[in-house]
Amino acid sequence: MSAESGLRFVVAEPFHAKALDRLKQFGSVLELSDSSPQTLLNAIGDADALLVRARTHVTARILEAASRLKVIGRAAPSCDHIDLRVARQRQIGVVYAPAAATRSLVEFTVGLILAAQRRLLDYDRRLRSGEFASLRAPISREMGRLTVGLLGMGLVAEAVGKTMADAFGSRIVYADPTGGRPVELKAEEVSVEQLLRESGVVSMHLPLRSTTKQFLNAGRIAMLSPEAVVVNTTRGGLIDTLALADALKSGRLAGAALDVFETEPLPMNHPLRNAPRCILTPHVGCVTKDSDEAVFEVVEDVLRVLRGETPQYPVPCEAEPEASAAVGV
C-alpha cells in the first residue's frame, strides 16, 4: 500500500506532524478547520478513513454519509462520541489508543492523591495569607497506614494501586460493578459499601455508563470517613459534584481532587470552585509531551485495517457506547 493507492484520510482535529506525514505516504490528507457536524458531512463522503481526537462527535448521520469509510481512528484512550452500533452495522472498524496515556495519567493520579491527602495546596494558600505555626498541627496520616480504594478496575486503576502499594505500602482494595478485574495487581475485592467505609483514599476508575452516572452520589458520599479524600481523573459524570461540594463545605469529607467534570469547563458558579480542601485541575491528567506523541500511534492501526490486517487496539465488539462526557488527551 502506497500513496498511489489513492486513499483519502480526513483528519477532524489537530494531529501530530509525524502522524500526518505517515498518512501522506499512503494517500491524500484533508485536515479540517473544525469538527462541526456540517464540516464533517461535507468532507466525509469519499473518505476511506476518519481520524479524530477527543471532541469530534461521529454520529449515525455522519456515518451514513460516509459511503467509502472503512475505519475510524480515535487518538484517545476511550471511544466517547462515536456511534459504535452504527459503525458495526456498516462494518466500519474503530481503533483507538487505550494504553498510550496510561503512564502519564497514573503519575498524575498518584500526585493528586498525595497532594489531597497531605493538603498541600491548602497549606500553600494559608501560608501565603500569613498563617504558619497554626498550620503545623498533625492532620494527615502516612499512606502506608491508609487503605486506598479503587472504584473500578482497569489499566490505570491497576497501575495506581501497584504504585501506592509498592511505594508506600498502602492496603489496596477495589470494587467494580461493571466487572473489571485486575490482571497482576494483588488487591482485595470488596463490596462498594465496604470500600467506602474503610478507604482513606477513594480513586475513581469506572467507565461512564447509564449504570455508573453519579455513582458516587450523596448516599455513598455519606458512607465515607470524615478523614477520607476522593480523587477523580476518569470521568466527571461519575460523581454528584453538588453533593461532594456540600460534604467538603460541611466538613464531612477531608478533601477531594478532581481533574474531570460533568461539564467542561467547570461553570463559574459551580459550588466546587468555593469548596475547601478541593484541588481542581483542567482535565490534564493525560497531557504530557510523551502521551501526546504516543496517542498518534493509532495511525498505524488505521493503516493495518486498510491493509486488511488485524489492528493492535480495536474497540471491543462488546463495548457499550459511553455516556456523553468531555474527554481529552
> Which helix (H) or strand (E) element contains residue 171?
strand 171-175
Choose among 238, 255, 245: nearest CA to 326.
238
Of 235, 262, 297, 322, which one is the catalytic site residue? 235
261: how many CB neighbours lie within 10 A of its CB? 22
Of 31, 64, 107, 264, which one is the catalytic site residue? 264
**DSSP bridge pairs for 257:** 231, 279
Q: Which residue's entry shows cell 457536524? A: 37
**Catalytic-residue membership of 283:** yes
SS3 assignment, position 223: coil
SS3 assignment, position 107: helix
Of 53, 81, 119, 283, which one is the catalytic site residue? 283
**Catalytic-residue membership of 107:** no
Calculate the alpha carbon distances from 223 to 191, 217, 272 in Å. 13, 10, 20
To the nearest 10°, report the CA torsion of 150, 154, 158, 161: -20
Cα–Cα distance, 234 to 259 (Å, whole number) = 8
Residues labelled as active-site residues: 235, 264, 283
